[in-house]
Amino acid sequence: MAHYLNDISRTFSEYLLIPGLTTKECIPNQISLKAPLVRFKANEEPAISLNIPFVSAIMQSVSDHKMAIALARNGGLSFIFGSQSIESQAEMVRKVKKYKAGFVISDANLTPENTLADVLALKEKSGHATIGITENGASDSKLLGIVTGRDYRITRDSLDKKVKEFMTPFDKLITGEFGISLAEANDIIWDHKLNCLPIIDNNQCLKYFVFRKDYDSHQDNPNEISDADKKLLVGAGINTRDYRERVPQLIEAGVDVVCIDSSDGFSVWQKETLEYVKNTYGDKVKIGAGNVVDRDGFLYLAEAGADFVKVGVGGGSICITREQKGIGRGQATAIIEVAAARDEYFKKTGVYVPICSDGGIVQDYHMVLALAMGADFIMMGRYFARFDESPTRKLMVNGNYMKEYWGEGSNRARNWQRYDAGGAEGLKFEEGVDSFVPYAGKLKDNLDITLGKIRSTMSSCGVTSIIDLQKNGKITLVSSTSIIEGGAHDVIVKDSRNNG
Ligand code: IMP
């Protein structure tokens, strides 16, 4: 006979937090949201911590280098999607590691032999008005000039006109030396009244642009997470098939942490992958695994060496795994059980293996509930997909701006292997949908609001850190009638935007 569990699978919306005593220590701006990312021994610090407990999902429609840069600058971490070639994933990792605030790697370049038509097409495609003109049309190649909107007049110039006839040539350019600080670059910009300063190395190769218009956005990011060389931290998704080739190239590109990406991580293939990566690369890279939803799954991956374990099957907003396969568990119930297993493992071994709640966050308050239930940090797809920094198109749909968002198990992602258990056959059905999510603007603006709410909830609960919340938070189940009581009710709401 099959085993029956006695619990009911519950989700976040079925719970609330009960306020605790708020003291003067619990004012929101004193609350720490620091979270361990990887395993550590009692009385030791984790090798990597997050300054905010958020990571972005390992998905084509969420985590590329742009998202990774924006999130690391704000204290969280992205896992760059693995459903792409090893080379292009490694290149994205490299871009994050090369990032220097204010120094923009030019990804819109042409050669002097190109035409005005090429300039206009590139401008349209890349959205950049400043185009580097280099020997072979790539960045990191010899800089021969630049083209900006001031170099041509569409109404007067022929589209066939060669770039070399209207670019500002190298000998007329003021440039900065590779290695100068941002403050020095900005001084040159102000002294020479420039809009853009190309930064070149000893061989005249184009390394970066520094723009006057970015000056204001160069303020400090106090939450930024970086390595010993002050380079931003970045993660990447891997799978249980090509890890022998993928992991070394990601390490070579500078990745800090990888994560085995699967909707069902309780498998012998994950154990083999963990053991191989640990034995071959030791401390060169950290590795997370998942997803699991119970004690057995957690202990299996923790014992196999996972640096963190991801929790959640079937709760993702674009996910239809439960409908298709009948596997999964309510996210709240999964977190509560796995958190208990993590604590039990810590007591027994003295090793703390952080857990990540993955998927199913709809309201901001679900985040603080996930943390109170024991999650160390939270992975989100839908939340981040809505921002400017996500890799997908922003489209007008029925009068509203939307961003595209599709599951890794959807036909669009064509990533079948992720959702099979390692067999060669591959699955023939979808586990995810292709969708739109409402466009929400810049990551930082939204994050500030969300984090403000989390701090405010923690303040109400009378706690000053995530560990404090996990130990002392009081959680209650809610009845369906009291859920109705929790929203605006028995009034006619004037502006529905405030209720989102
Ligand atoms: P969300 O934050 O609720 O949108 O959930 C994101 C999570 O859904 C990801 O981190 C994955 O764990 C999961 N996921 C991504 N793509 C798929 C899919 O196609 N099917 C099932 N789950 C998916």
Write down the residue that tokens 């090509």 correspond to. Answer: 242
Distance from the alpha carbon of residue 474 to the mean position of ligand 1, in angstroms = 29
Q: Which atom of ligand 1 is nearest to the CA of 383?
A: 2
Average pLDDT over residues 476-486: 88
Question: Which DSSP state fits 179?
Answer: T
Residue type, 291: N
Q: What is the pTM of this model?
A: 0.85
Average pLDDT over residues 472-492: 90
Distance from the alpha carbon of residue 490 to the mean position of ligand 1, in angstroms = 35
Q: Is the pLDDT of residue 499 over 60?
A: no
pLDDT digits (tens, 9 = 90+) for 358-397: 999 999 999 999 999 999 999 999 999 999 999 999 999 9
Give residue 423's pLDDT: 45
Catalytic residue among 196, 319, 356, 461: 319
- Lowest mean pLDDT: which of 290-294, 346-350, 410-414? 410-414
Q: Is the pLDDT of residue 425 over 70?
A: no
Average pLDDT over residues 410-429: 60
Residue 313 is assigned to a ligand binding site: yes
Q: Which atom of ligand 1 is nearest to the CA of 362?
A: 3
- CA–CA separation, 274 vs 472, rounded Å? 34
* Order of strands, sheet of 206-211, starting from the edge strand that comes earlier in the sequence: 176-177, 196-200, 206-211
**Tokens read off for 462:** 């009378």
Give residue 326's pLDDT: 92
Q: How would residue 416 be classed by pLDDT, with cut points 50, 70 and 90?
A: very low
Residue 314 is assigned to a ligand binding site: yes
Give residue 428's pLDDT: 67
Q: What are phi and psi of 448, to 5 degrees?
A: -60, -40
Of the candidates 350, 217, 315, 273, the residue with the CA atom closest to the CA atom of residue 82: 273
| 319 is a catalytic site residue | yes
Residue 486 is assigned to a ligand binding site: no
pLDDT digits (tens, 9 = 90+) for 13-53: 999 999 999 999 999 989 999 999 999 999 999 999 999 99
Taken in order 108, 114, 116, 117, the sign of the CA dihedral is negative
Give residue 212's pLDDT: 84
Residue type, 255: V
Nearest CA to ligand 1 atom 13: 316
Nearest CA to ligand 1 atom 17: 407
pLDDT digits (tens, 9 = 90+) for 51-85: 999 999 999 999 999 999 999 999 999 999 999 99
Mean of per-residue pLDDT scores for the chain: 92
pLDDT digits (tens, 9 = 90+) for 170-226: 999 999 999 998 889 989 999 999 999 999 999 999 999 998 876 655 556 889 999
Q: Which atom of ligand 1 is nearest to the CA of 430?
A: 19
Distance from the alpha carbon of residue 359 to the mean position of ligand 1, in angstroms = 6
Q: What is the rounded radius of gyration, in angstroms, for the C-alpha atoms of the chain?
A: 25
Q: What are phi and psi of 13, to 5 degrees?
A: -65, -10
Asked if 271 and 296 touch (Cβ cutoff 8 Å), the reply is no
Residue 265 is assigned to a ligand binding site: no
Write down the residue that tokens 């028995």 correspond to. Answer: 490
Average pLDDT over residues 301-312: 98
Give residue 500's pLDDT: 41
* Beta pairing, strands 131-134 & 143-147: antiparallel
The better pLDDT of the pair 112, 486 is held by 112
Distance from the alpha carbon of residue 342 to the mean position of ligand 1, in angstroms = 23
Q: How would residue 107 be classed by pLDDT, with cut points 50, 70 and 90?
A: confident
- Which among 83, 318, 436 is the best mutation to test ligand 1's pocket, defined by most ligand atoms within 8 Å of the CB? 318
Nearest CA to ligand 1 atom 8: 316
Domains of the chain: 12-100+224-480 (3.20.20.70), 103-220 (3.10.580.10)
- Lowest mean pLDDT: which of 58-67, 111-120, 264-273, 408-417? 408-417
- Coil, strand or helix: which one is 74? coil
Of the candidates 456, 457, 465, 425, the residue with the CA atom closest to the CA atom of residue 28: 456
Q: Rounded to a whole number, what is the distance in angstroms from the first to the last CA of the chain?
A: 46
Residue 139 is assigned to a ligand binding site: no
- CA–CA separation, 67 vs 81, rounded Å? 11
Decide: residue 488, CB within 10 A, 0-12 exposed, 13-18 middle, 19+ buried.
exposed
CB-based contacts of 260, cutoff 8 Å, min separation 6: 237, 238, 239, 240, 243, 270, 273, 274, 287, 288, 289, 290
Of the candidates 212, 273, 277, the residue with the CA atom closest to the CA atom of residue 241: 273
Nearest CA to ligand 1 atom 22: 319
* Alpha carbon distances (Å) from 154 to 74, 117, 161, 267, 312: 40, 10, 11, 60, 54
Catalytic residue among 329, 386, 418, 455: 418
Asked if 415 and 261 touch (Cβ cutoff 8 Å), the reply is no
Give residue 175's pLDDT: 95
Give residue 372's pLDDT: 98
Residue 293 is assigned to a ligand binding site: no
pLDDT digits (tens, 9 = 90+) for 216-252: 555 568 899 999 888 999 999 999 999 999 999 999 9
Of the candidates 474, 468, 384, 472, the residue with the CA atom closest to the CA atom of residue 35: 468
Q: Calculate what percentage of the chain has a pLDDT beyond 70.
A: 95
- Which among 308, 319, 411 is the best mutation to test ligand 1's pocket, defined by most ligand atoms within 8 Å of the CB? 319
Which residues have any ligand 1 atom within 6 Å of their CB? 57, 59, 263, 312, 316-319, 321, 358-361, 379-383, 407-410, 431-432
pLDDT digits (tens, 9 = 90+) for 109-161: 999 999 999 999 988 877 778 999 999 998 889 999 999 989 999 888 899 99
Q: Is the pLDDT of residue 420 over 60?
A: no
Distance from the alpha carbon of residue 318 to the mean position of ligand 1, in angstroms = 6
Distance from the alpha carbon of residue 453 to the mean position of ligand 1, in angstroms = 24
**Tokens read off for 260:** 């085995």
Of the candidates 430, 425, 103, 386, the residue with the CA atom closest to the CA atom of residue 263: 430
Q: Which atom of ligand 1 is nearest to the CA of 317?
A: 3
- Coil, strand or helix: which one is 332? helix
